[in-house]
Amino acid sequence: MSIRTKMTVLFLSIVTILLLVFCTTIYFLSEIYRQKEYKTRLRQEALTAATVLFNKEEISPDLLKLLARNQMTVLNKEEIVVLNNKDEVIYHIGFKNYNIEKSIINDIKTEKELFWQRNEIEKYGMVFKNKNQDYIVITSAVDKYGLSKQQNLALLLSFGGILVLIFSAVGGWFFAGGLLRPMQQMIKKIDNINASHLNLRLSHHNNRDELAQLALRFNEMLDRLQQAFNVQRSFVSHASHELRTPLTAITGQIQVSLLANDNADELRLMAKSVLEDVSQLNNLTNNLLELTSIHAEDTDITVALVNIVELLWQVRSEILKKHSSYEILIAFDEVEDHLPEIYANESLIYIALINLVENGVKFSPDHSINIKLNSSENELIITFQNKTDDLSGLDLASLFEPFIRGSNSKNTKGHGVGLSLTRRIIQLHKGILTARLASQEIIVFELKLIKKNPEQRG
């Protein structure tokens, strides 16, 4: 069932319920008023008959009956009965099949007056006092005119209700169509959005409207998708280029070696060069795999309590094994109450730290880096400071983008993946990694890590 049909059915259901309540209320209020009015007429008939019967002694009962018959056209099927205190009929005019239950008579004596109904005949009984004697006067008749009005009212309400429902159904259908027209226009525009037309956006004129809010959120989602699509396209392009470069070099060297008649030393040099290219290719592949494996937004990581100082010394030892000429200085303001420990995934944090340190010493002209660690009650702040050459503000803004390398990296091997991978690892740990230029020659990376267990973080 379409939303338009559902809205029409819902609207029609509400109108039907309201209409039923309205019509039923009108009908029963009218019926209550009719009964009240007719009760007054029957009471008046009873009083008139009793007054004439008991206060006009010169009028005999037979003469009273004759007068009553001449006036019987006033109430349809009218019947008047008068009973004495022994429940004996002393006066009766109307149908000969008169029959009143004993319980009714007792109720009249108790309540002093009573109104009841048998089928379409409505009856009224009252106690009338005359010369210290209690008499019971009962009148009954059929409110032919009132019942006819009620029937006409029922027909009018039914017919009018059906007409209202028909108009409501038609009006609801067009009303729902008008409300959903902007949504249909949105659907048509969405159908035109594909990988080749990601720049298309939904129009929204009123930001307070729910549909406008939906269009706004959809456009924001498209912006994120387009950005992710562009990043992916750039990623694939750069990755292909980075993979092709060492592969081309390896292929060229092997082809030259096959064509030339090289001696053992030349073959050894060629093999060493190929090994360097393969190692470079292997490092790139590992970085790409690590970057891909943790790129999902909802990546779950296993955490444990990690001492960052110990991890930094491990990183320092690992780098100095490969490059003994590098200088890595670590300074830590030790506070007994604030241990440099955080809840983190040790292997991932190790990758992030070694990338930051390697990046600093590799691109520093003197291959040195200063690391300073400050520990407080709630967070851990690590700064990595090193010298740099020819790094512009534009380079700084794109420093964490994959495969984007600064202007100071022309003569340094690398692929531009490390810092992007590092920032993603820090984000997974709810931390913050920023870069700034302390001066034209000094760059500072600042890493903030929260000490609380990730499960306790809001």
* Residue 313 vs residue 63, higher pLDDT: 313
pLDDT score recorded for residue 395: 60
May I ask the CATH class of domain 3-150? alpha beta
Which pair of tokens denotes residue 288? Answer: 């790409």
Average pLDDT over residues 251-264: 73
- pLDDT confidence tier of residue 164, bands split at 50, 70 and 90: very high
pLDDT of res. 130: 84
The pLDDT, as a whole number, for residue 33 is 93
Yes or no: domain 210-293 corresponds to CATH 1.10.287.130: yes
Amino acid at the residue 205: H
Beta-bridge partners for 93: 80
Of 424, 337, 347, nearest in space to 378 by CA? 337
Residue 288 pLDDT class (50, 70, 90 cuts): low
Name the DSSP class of 81.
E
Percentage, residues of the chain above pLDDT 70: 79
pLDDT per position as a tens digit, 4-57: 888 889 999 999 999 999 999 999 999 999 889 888 888 888 888 888 777 755
* DSSP string for residues in 129-183: EETTEEEEEEEEEE-HHHHHHHHHHHHHHHHHHHHHHHHHHHHHHHHHHHHHHHH
Rounded to the nearest 10°, the torsion over CA 203, 207, 208, 210 is: 40
Once rounded to an integer, what is the mean pLDDT over residues 338-357?
86
Domain at 304-456: CATH code: 3.30.565.10
Instruction: Give the C-alpha separation, 115 to 107, whole Å.
Output: 10
Instruction: Supply the DSSP symbol for 262.
Output: -
pLDDT of residue 160 exceeding 80: yes
Domain with CATH 1.10.287.130 in the chain: 210-293
**Dihedral Cα 95, 101, 106, 109, nearest 10 deg:** -10
Smallest CA-to-CA distance from 74 within 116, 30, 107, 44 is with: 44
pTM for the full predicted model:
0.51
Q: How confident is the model at residue 253 (pLDDT cuts 50, 70, 90)?
A: confident
Helix, strand, coil percentages for the chain (3-state, nearest 5): 55, 20, 25
Split at pLDDT 50, 70, 90, the class of 72 is very low
- Within the chain, which residue ranges are assigned CATH 3.30.565.10? 304-456
Backbone angles phi, psi at 319, to 5 degrees: -70, -40
94 has a pLDDT exceeding 80: no
Decide if pLDDT at 69 tops 70.
no
Q: Any residues with CB less than 8 A from the CB of 40 and at least 6 apart, and which?
A: none
What type of residue sits at position 382? I
pLDDT of 402-458, one tens digit each?
655 554 454 555 555 678 878 888 888 889 999 888 887 889 999 999 887 655 554
Range(s) of the chain covered by CATH 3.30.450.20: 3-150
Q: What percent of the chain has pLDDT over 90?
A: 17
